[in-house]
Structure 1
Amino acid sequence: MLRSMYAGISGMKGFQAKLDVIGNNIANVNTAGFKKGRVTFQDMMSQMTSGAQGPTATRGGINAAQIGLGSQLGSIDNIHTQGFRQTTNNPLDLALEGDGMFALQANGETLYTRAGNFYLDDGGNIVNADGYYLVGAGGNFPLTIPDTAQSFSIQTNGTVTYIDAAGDTQTEGQIGIANFSNPAGLQKSGSNLFLNSENAGFTGLAVPEADGAASIISGSLEMSNVDLAEEFTEMITAQRGFQANTRIITTSDEILQELVNLKR
């Protein structure tokens, strides 16, 4: 009975972690570039009560008898599927259609994001909401639109062009796309940013629409890939699983109480 109580506690802890991840997903349902999380479980070690025995000339084999000791967190995954695209008609709102991430640079640190809501600072540099410079395909930054420019545009291949004061078309540069063989290995850093890790498999900055990199859609934003219907279904499952594990603890406690009452 003590084993069942501890198994119930482990189940409660696991489902609490699942609810935490679901709550974070729902809270970020309208966050641009957000990638949802997913929790998986594993069983804990099992206690062997009798080992397996092979067949003999006079008797068949016997399977091992084991009692499980509960569950544990297996993984908390980041799911990097394509998010929904929202049209904004703002030329500095950029959505990625395909694989890859925008690269950002600030204070000697490179970060990555799928959130394409960019702005111009007082120097005409293309930055994100935190002032991080958008990095070009050759690793150059910042990408700058002069104050004298009459208008500017960003092509699907990441080329940034503008019309200068004389009415001529000028090319500022090309936006780079960071490619990863395992984007789920990136570490979330907050503020819609990701950090590279040893398991992300960074393969370098690529030109958009080349080497499997995404194309850039100007005037749109990639929104969260959270599906509310799926999250609410998982929330109900986690809630019922948590309740079932509390019943295991309650039932075990009642049996222990009966054992105590045997003395009367």
Structure 2
Amino acid sequence: MMLDSIFIGMAGLTSYSRGLKTISNNVTNLNTPGFKTSHLQFADMFYQGDQAGSGERSQGQGVSTFGSTLSFVAGDFRSTGNPLDIAIDGRGFFVLRDSNGNLTYTKAGQFEFDDKGILVNRLGGEKVLAFGTDGSLQEISLKGLDTNKPQATTSVAFKGNLSSADTEHILNNVVVYDNAGAEHNLQVTFNGKTEDIASGEVKWDLTIKEGGTTLATGPIKFKNSVPMLGNDSLSLTFNPVGVASSTAVFKLGMDVTGYSLGTDSSLVLGTKDGYAVGKLVGQSFDEEGHLVVSYSNGQTAKPFQVALARLSSLDSLEQIGGNQFKAKNADLVSYGVAGAGQEAIRTGAVEISNVDLSQEFSDLILMQRGYQASSQMVSAANELIQQLFEMKGRG
């Protein structure tokens, strides 16, 4: 029986030692992005039954431990300012693929583009998977996204008042683009005004020049100080070499007026479309996990949306290190995207560890006491055995 007590005490020492190891691992990962706390499972060991009719009651054989369980309670979100750092506000996991084609999952959204222009996990280099415009699961690559093709200007609209008491109104530096992406810095002039008091019409000559060269000229008209429909625009066609021609329409906007407000007009450029060729200048993510590619011409593109893995049972996940998990049963994993009532993406931030220090220190005290008690039990049983041997020796 004394030997049984020693074995039971040793079982306690072993189990509480594992508990201390689990707590140590939790505490040391306090600042590890995406880390999930582990809790060691304790269980009493099997009981002995009646042996050979001895009539002895069943007796416990000590304590044992099973595998640890993971707590997937969300950690806090910490801002990093890095546009490629993202966190998931919800149950999903980012999907990674290693060089062997194995899929793993992580809450630590710390990504970067490698020298091949592929988005990878900053820590281990695994490729980050997303849904492309065709809806398939694929890696995120900047291939083919270096430039943004130009768009020709098709509409230029003005706003404000072109005073009927004015004689000439000039707008400089009106920039438009042709289909080749070439920039044209134009001068738009309103002059040559004539008035028909009986009909209430005022006609202006609209002239468009580039570098002193007249590109287009034509009349525009007001009636009762409002632009006349069908007489409120002038078209200009560009014919760059090697590409299709394009036509830009210069139009008096709906809020343009022609009231007599002195010799100074307030007519200015309102809206216009078109832009030059754009060069890639940055990448970031939006709140639905789209990769937002920004260009020097002010345009953006969203060619990918980060894939999120959802598991019907989180118990099927196990930690494999490197802030990653793998699924024990792939059939329990489904893939989707953020938004539409599902997860939201926190941009420029990471989810930090969900370790609760106060809880860990409380558990640490319990483990220490359990370890000390088990140690005292072994020492007491050992002393009793030594006393027994001494008594036998004296006999």
Fold equivalence (TM over 0.5): yes
The answer to whether the 8 Å contact 2:84/2:283 transfers is no
Normalised TM-score (structure 2): 0.60
Q: Which runs of 5+ in 2 are unaligned?
A: 147-278
Structure with max Cα Rg: 2
Taking the aligned partners of 1:26 and 1:229, their CA distance within structure 2 comes to 10
Normalised TM-score (structure 1): 0.87
Using the TM superposition, give the Cα deviation of residue 76 of structure 1 relative to its aligned residue in structure 2, in angstroms.
0.8
Q: Does 1:224 align with 2:225?
A: no
Q: Identify the residue that residue 160 of structure 1 maps to in structure 2.
A: 291
Q: Does 1:188 align with 2:319?
A: yes
Match among 80, 84, 92 for residue 88 of structure 1: 80
* Superposition map of 1:132-143 within 5 A: 132-137=126-131, 138-143=136-141
In structure 2, what residue type is equivalent to 1:133? K
CA distances 1:68-125 after superposition (whole Å, capped 9, x unpaired) = 0111113311111101110112111101111010001232221111111111222332
Q: Does 1:126 align with 2:141?
A: no
Using the TM superposition, give the Cα deviation of residue 149 of structure 1 relative to its aligned residue in structure 2, in angstroms.
1.8
CA distances 1:207-230 after superposition (whole Å, capped 9, x unpaired) = 1134x7421111111000111111
CA distances 1:213-250 after superposition (whole Å, capped 9, x unpaired) = 42111111100011111111111111110110011111
In structure 1, what residue type is equivalent to 2:63? S
Helix, strand or coil: the match of 2:34? coil
Alignment CA distance shift 1:143-1:174 (3 Å): farther
Match among 136, 142, 145 for residue 144 of structure 1: 142
Helix, strand or coil: the match of 1:255? helix
* Superposition map of 1:26-41 within 5 A: 26-41=27-42
Q: Identify the residue that residue 65 of structure 2 maps to in structure 1.
A: 73
Using the TM superposition, give the Cα deviation of residue 29 of structure 1 relative to its aligned residue in structure 2, in angstroms.
0.7
The answer to whether the 8 Å contact 1:96/1:114 transfers is yes
The answer to whether the 8 Å contact 1:32/1:192 transfers is yes
Q: Does 1:254 align with 2:248?
A: no
Q: Identify the residue that residue 97 of structure 1 maps to in structure 2.
A: 89
Match among 303, 308, 333 for residue 203 of structure 1: 333
In structure 1, what residue type is equivalent to 2:92? G
Taking the aligned partners of 1:144 and 1:28, their CA distance within structure 2 comes to 34
In structure 1, what residue type is equivalent to 2:319? K
Q: Which runs of 5+ in 1 are unaligned?
A: 51-63
Helix, strand or coil: the match of 1:184? helix
Match among 310, 318, 321 for residue 179 of structure 1: 310
The answer to whether the 8 Å contact 1:157/1:209 transfers is yes
Helix, strand or coil: the match of 1:67? coil
Taking the aligned partners of 1:40 and 1:187, their CA distance within structure 2 comes to 15
Whose helix proportion is higher, 1 or 2? 1
Q: Identify the residue that residue 61 of structure 1 maps to in structure 2.
A: none
Q: Does 1:117 align with 2:116?
A: no
Helix, strand or coil: the match of 2:346? strand
Taking the aligned partners of 1:79 and 1:228, their CA distance within structure 2 comes to 14
The answer to whether the 8 Å contact 2:90/2:344 transfers is yes
Using the TM superposition, give the Cα deviation of residue 201 of structure 1 relative to its aligned residue in structure 2, in angstroms.
5.5
Alignment CA distance shift 1:21-1:125 (3 Å): same
The answer to whether the 8 Å contact 1:143/1:172 transfers is no
Alignment CA distance shift 1:143-1:80 (3 Å): farther
* Superposition map of 1:31-70 within 5 A: 31-49=32-50, 65-70=57-62
Helix, strand or coil: the match of 1:135? strand
Query: Matched residues, percent identical?
Result: 33
Using the TM superposition, give the Cα deviation of residue 49 of structure 1 relative to its aligned residue in structure 2, in angstroms.
4.2
Taking the aligned partners of 2:342 and 2:93, their CA distance within structure 1 comes to 9
Helix, strand or coil: the match of 1:136? strand
CA distances 1:148-207 after superposition (whole Å, capped 9, x unpaired) = 323333122111222234332211211110011222321222111112212x76332111
CA RMSD between the two structures: 2.1
Taking the aligned partners of 1:221 and 1:164, their CA distance within structure 2 comes to 26
Q: Identify the residue that residue 10 of structure 1 maps to in structure 2.
A: 11
Helix, strand or coil: the match of 1:76? strand
Aligned residues: 250
Using the TM superposition, give the Cα deviation of residue 261 of structure 1 relative to its aligned residue in structure 2, in angstroms.
2.2
Helix, strand or coil: the match of 1:123? coil
Q: Identify the residue that residue 58 of structure 1 maps to in structure 2.
A: none
The answer to whether the 8 Å contact 1:178/1:205 transfers is yes
Alignment CA distance shift 1:254-1:201 (3 Å): farther
